[in-house]
Amino acid sequence: MADKNTNISRKKVIVEKNKRPVSTVNKRQAVNTNSMNPKGGSVNNRASLGREALKNPKTEGEDKNISTEKAIKTEEADIRSDKDNSSALKRERLRKIITIISGVVCILSFAYFTYYCLKADGTKKEAEALSDLKNSDVLASNNKKATVTLDLLGDAPDILEEYRTIYAKNKRLAGWISIEGTDVDYPVMQTTNNEYYLDHDFDQHEDKNGSIFIDSNCSIWPRSQNLIIYGHNMKSGRMFGDLDKYKSQKFYEAHKRIKFDTLYEKGEYDIMYVFPETVHEATEVTFKYYQFIDANSKEEYDSNMQTMAEMSLYDTGVTSQYGDKLITLSTCDYEEGAERFVVVAKKVK
C-alpha cells in the first residue's frame, strides 16, 4: 500500500509539472534567447530591424553622396559669404573714396568762391580808387591829347580834365560809365582786340571779372553813331552783373538814365529798348545788334529802331531819329533761349 501511495504522489507531481503555463516557458525561452544573443537583442527585434532596413535601404555610396552634397552646400555658402564680405569691403572702400573726393571738391569750391569774392571785391575797390582820380592832377599832363580809336584821321579834342590822370595810367581808357541803383561805375576801355578785356583789368592784370570795354570796330572820335559796350554778367553784381535788373519795368521806371562819358565829352542817355537776344550765325541774314554801329541811311536806321522796338520787353515811350547818338550795353544772359541781354539808350545831354 505504501508503494502505491508513493507512485500516486509521483504521478501528481509529473502532472503538475506538465500543467505549467506556456507563457512562463516562453518567458524563460526569451530570457535564454536574450542571454544567448547579447549583441543583437532578441531574434524578433533583429528581424524587425532587418525589415526596417529593407524599407529604408541606405548603402555606403549613398551616404558618401549625401556627405558630398553637404560639403558642396557648405562650400557654396562659404563662397557666398566671402562674396558678400568682399562686396561689403568694396562698398565701404568706394564710400570712403567718394567721401574723400567730395571733401576735396568742397574745399576747392570754397577756395574758389573765396578767391572769386576777394577778386570781385578787389575789382570794385580798384574802380573806386580810379574814380577818386577824377579831377586829380596827379600824373596828369594838361597838354595831353590822345585818341583811343582805330580811326586816326583828324585831330582829337582835349581829354576831359577829370579823366587825364586816369588816362595817364592806361592809354587804353576810352571813357566812364555809371548807372544809379547798380554796381555799374567803371572805366570803359578799348583796344584792337575784343578778347583782351574779357579777362584783364584796368592795370592789365589777368582777372576773370574782365573790364567794361567798347567794341574795337567803334570809334569815340570821330564818334560812331552807336557805341557798343560789353561787360561780363558777374554773379557778384560786378561789371554788368546788375544790367539784367532792367528786365523789370519797375526797375526801369526808377532808373531810366545812364551816364556815359567818352574821353572827350560828357553824356547822359535815356533808355529806349531792353531785350534778350541770341548770337546768330555769320551767314544768317537778320538784324544783329552787335553789328549796328553806323547806319548807311535813314531808312536803315529807322528799320533798326523798329526791329529793336519789337524785340523790347516793354515800351519805354522813348523814340529816336536818324542822327542821334546811341550806346548799346551788352552782357551775357543765362536764361534759357537767350545768350545776350541788351540795353539801348540815346544821348539826351
What total number of domains does the chain contain? 1
In-domain check, residue 138: yes
Q: How far is CA 337 from the centre of its chain?
A: 20
Return the CA Rg of the chain: 54
The 10s digit of each residue's pLDDT in 19-36 is: 555 444 444 444 444 444
In-domain check, residue 202: yes
In-domain check, residue 288: yes
Q: What is the pLDDT of residue 24?
A: 46
pTM summary value: 0.64
Mean pLDDT of 11-17: 50
In-domain check, residue 91: no
The 10s digit of each residue's pLDDT in 85-135 is: 777 787 888 888 888 888 888 887 666 656 555 555 666 677 777 777 776
Report residue 217: phi and psi, to 5°. Answer: -85, -5
Find out whether 246 and 271 touch, Cβ atoms under 8 Å.
yes
Whether the pLDDT of residue 140 is over 50: the answer is: no
Q: For residues 162 and 140, what is the distance between their CA atoms, to the nearest angstrom?
A: 10
Q: What is the pLDDT of residue 148?
A: 45
Burial bucket for residue 127 (CB in 10 Å: 0-12, 13-18, 19+): buried
The residue among 47 and 336 whose pLDDT is bigger is: 336
In-domain check, residue 120: no
In-domain check, residue 89: no
Q: Which of 23-32, 277-286, 336-345 has the lowest average pLDDT?
A: 23-32
The grid cell for 152 is: 586816326
Q: What is the pLDDT of residue 86?
A: 77
Burial bucket for residue 341 (CB in 10 Å: 0-12, 13-18, 19+): buried
In-domain check, residue 264: yes
Contacts 24+ apart (CB under 8 A), 194-200: 194/230, 197/230, 198/232
- Please give the sequence-ordered ranges of beta strands (E in DSSP) within the chain, or none if there are none: 173-178, 185-189, 212-214, 226-230, 257-262, 268-277, 326-332, 340-347
In-domain check, residue 221: yes
Find out whether 329 and 340 touch, Cβ atoms under 8 Å.
no
Share of the chain above pLDDT 90, in %: 53
Find out whether 159 and 220 touch, Cβ atoms under 8 Å.
no
Whether the pLDDT of residue 200 is over 70: the answer is: yes
Mean pLDDT of 258-274: 98
Q: For residues 348 and 266, what is the distance between their CA atoms, to the nearest angstrom?
A: 11
pLDDT band at 149 (very low <50, low <70, confident <90, very high): very low
Q: What is the pLDDT of residue 151?
A: 43
Q: For residues 101 and 95, what is the distance between their CA atoms, to the nearest angstrom?
A: 10
Q: For residues 340 and 269, what is the distance between their CA atoms, to the nearest angstrom?
A: 21
The 10s digit of each residue's pLDDT in 304-335 is: 999 999 999 999 999 999 999 999 999 999 98
pLDDT band at 251 (very low <50, low <70, confident <90, very high): very high
Q: What is the pLDDT of residue 71?
A: 75
Q: What is the pLDDT of residue 119?
A: 55
Find out whether 178 and 259 touch, Cβ atoms under 8 Å.
yes
CB-based contacts of 328, cutoff 8 Å, min separation 6: 226, 227, 228, 229, 289, 290, 292, 342, 343, 344
Average pLDDT, the chain: 81
The residue among 153 and 198 whose pLDDT is bigger is: 198
Q: What is the pLDDT of residue 23?
A: 47
Find out whether 320 and 326 touch, Cβ atoms under 8 Å.
yes
Whether the pLDDT of residue 145 is over 60: the answer is: no
Q: What is the pLDDT of residue 131?
A: 72
Q: What is the pLDDT of residue 74?
A: 78
* DSSP label at residue 291: G
Mean pLDDT of 66-84: 73
Q: For residues 185 and 119, what is the distance between their CA atoms, to the nearest angstrom?
A: 17
The residue among 130 and 184 whose pLDDT is bigger is: 184
DSSP assignment of 44-92 equals HHHHHHHHHHHHS---HHHHHHHHHHHHHHHHHHHHHHHHHHHHHHHHH
Owning domain of residue 325: 129-347
- The CATH number that applies at residue 172 is 2.40.260.10
* CB neighbourhood size of 235 (10 A): 10
Mean pLDDT of 3-13: 51
Find out whether 195 and 203 touch, Cβ atoms under 8 Å.
no
Residues facing 326 on adjacent strands = 226, 346
Please choose, from the candidates 270, 252, 268, 256, the residue with its C-alpha nearest in 3D space to the C-alpha of residue 314. Answer: 252
